[in-house]
Amino acid sequence: MKDTALAAKGHLQIEWASKHMPVLNQIRERFADEKPFKGVSLGACLHVTKETAFLIYAFLVGGAKVALCGSNPLSTQDDVAAALAEKGISVFAWREQTTKEYYWCIEKTIDHNPLITLDDGADLVGTIHSKRADLLPRIKGGTEETTTGVLRLRAMEKTGDLKYPIIAVNDAYTKYLFDNRYGTGQSTIDGILRATNILLAGKNFVVCGYGWCARGIAMRAQGMGANVIVTEVNPLRALEAAMNGFRVLPMIKASAIGDIFVTATGDINVIRKEHMQKMKDGAILANSGHFNVEISLKDLEGLATSKRNLRTNLDEYVLKNGRRLYLLADGRLVNLAAAEGHPSEVMDMSFANQALSVEYLVKTERMVPRVYAVPKEIDERIARLKLAAMNIRIDKLTTEQKKYLTTWEMGTI
């Protein structure tokens, strides 16, 4: 990692996060009593943030040995990495890595010979399968944090290339409904504002995609007074966006009127040459999808006659047509690169899913190599714990209602 002198600051950041993660706190306390990970080695490839650090602490008190690398070259919080290293964790992460350095860190994490892997985007699992296949028989299972990772792992499962079981943490209700939607929604706006400090009110704000992340971004941009335009390829999602009150347009039409563009599709080249050529002078481009492929950097570089850095995470490209486009955070996920990622309150649930899924993999007999859902009991337990932490009570079905909902005899009366 970058600098051990940052550790003191990192400890304070982690302490602050921990105060907003009540569910993970309870799980951590149980792990401290039960030590479910005694002698277990974990290899994690996650964004190195204060919330991730608190997850790692939960594993540590539960008896695990952990090696950690970042899941994006631009998302590591260096103070947090330093604090983790001071606690004796093997950390291979610093902010602003080259692609080569990024994969070197992944390989170093693999060298720790994990029994269980935790991944965010499937680069760790992909590297083990392609370069360190000798380790595959030993690995009992893994977890995957994000939509893009789950898509890649399902593709591996389909072609028979997946050699150990993975629990798709992303697909738990207590993950995507909150993390992807409210977490990405708020932190993407946060990243755009930190990088630009522009006023959103009155701006034409184009959201590419209307999945869980994009829904959150659209909702929050609208809340700040922007005129939100949605682009989609899926008719159901486009319809939903339209009925939620957003203007839906093809990307080529949106290109000409947008002031700010944000991609959150998990897809490649969503904003490309023909769109950039139509954009207004001063348009701002950001991405919140997992990989930096949603905005074609190749096309942007190809169209530009010059490029300069104006502010942290804000580059100006002057195009051959004389217009200037502004790219945030090199097209990497803007909420982690330009801000701090999701707020602790949502990571509380995402990482409670990680913690309990890893425990499940450790305690369960070796499973067939497939992509699995988070067990429903875990999802429901996390929702109940979160509600309790928020001091929210809900009703219980009466015996009569239980019977009514599970029988067919009673109809119109």
Under the rule (CB under 6 A), what is the footprint of ligand NAD?
Answer: 146-148, 176, 180, 184, 208-214, 231-234, 237, 264-267, 270, 288-290, 333, 335-336
Q: Is 38 exposed, middle or buried (0-12, 13-18, 19+ CB in 10 A)?
A: exposed
Instruction: Compute the least distance from the CB of residue 150 to ligand NAD, in Å.
Output: 8
Comparing CB distances to ligand NAD, the nearer of 196 and 288 is 288
Q: How far apart are CA 204 and CA 207, in angstroms?
A: 10
Q: What are phi and psi of 365, to 5 degrees?
A: -55, 150
Amino acid at residue number 307: K
Instruction: Compute the least distance from the CB of residue 265 to ligand NAD, in Å.
Output: 4
Query: Cβ distance 133 to 115 under 8 Å?
Result: no
Q: Which residues contact 207 (CB under 8 A, 6 or more apart)?
A: 214, 217, 218, 221, 228, 229, 230, 231, 246, 262, 264
Instruction: Compute the least distance from the CB of residue 333 to ligand NAD, in Å.
Output: 4
Instruction: Compute the least distance from the CB of residue 98 to ligand NAD, in Å.
Output: 21
Comparing CB distances to ligand NAD, the nearer of 37 and 212 is 212
Query: DSSP label at 198?
Result: -
What's the Rg (C-alpha) of the chain? 22
Comparing CB distances to ligand NAD, the nearer of 5 and 236 is 236
Comparing CB distances to ligand NAD, the nearer of 49 and 227 is 49
- CA torsion 385-386-390-391 (nearest 10°) is -30
- Where do runs of H (alpha helix) occur along 35-179? 50-61, 78-86, 99-110, 123-131, 147-158, 173-175
Instruction: Compute the least distance from the CB of residue 206 to ligand NAD, in Å.
Output: 10
Comparing CB distances to ligand NAD, the nearer of 75 and 109 is 75
Comparing CB distances to ligand NAD, the nearer of 264 and 383 is 264
Query: Cβ distance 330 to 324 under 8 Å?
Result: no
Task: Look up residue 389 and give its two tokens.
Answer: 């932490």
Comparing CB distances to ligand NAD, the nearer of 71 and 97 is 71
Q: What are phi and psi of 248, to 5 degrees?
A: -110, 125
Instruction: Compute the least distance from the CB of residue 4 to ligand NAD, in Å.
Output: 28
Strands 304-311 and 314-319 turn out to be antiparallel
Instruction: Compute the least distance from the CB of residue 112 to ligand NAD, in Å.
Output: 25
Size of the chain in residues: 413
Instruction: Compute the least distance from the CB of residue 369 to ligand NAD, in Å.
Output: 22
Q: How far apart are CA 247 and CA 241, in angstroms?
A: 8
Tokens 């096309």, located at residue: 299
Instruction: Compute the least distance from the CB of residue 64 to ligand NAD, in Å.
Output: 25
Comparing CB distances to ligand NAD, the nearer of 36 and 209 is 209
Comparing CB distances to ligand NAD, the nearer of 11 and 52 is 52
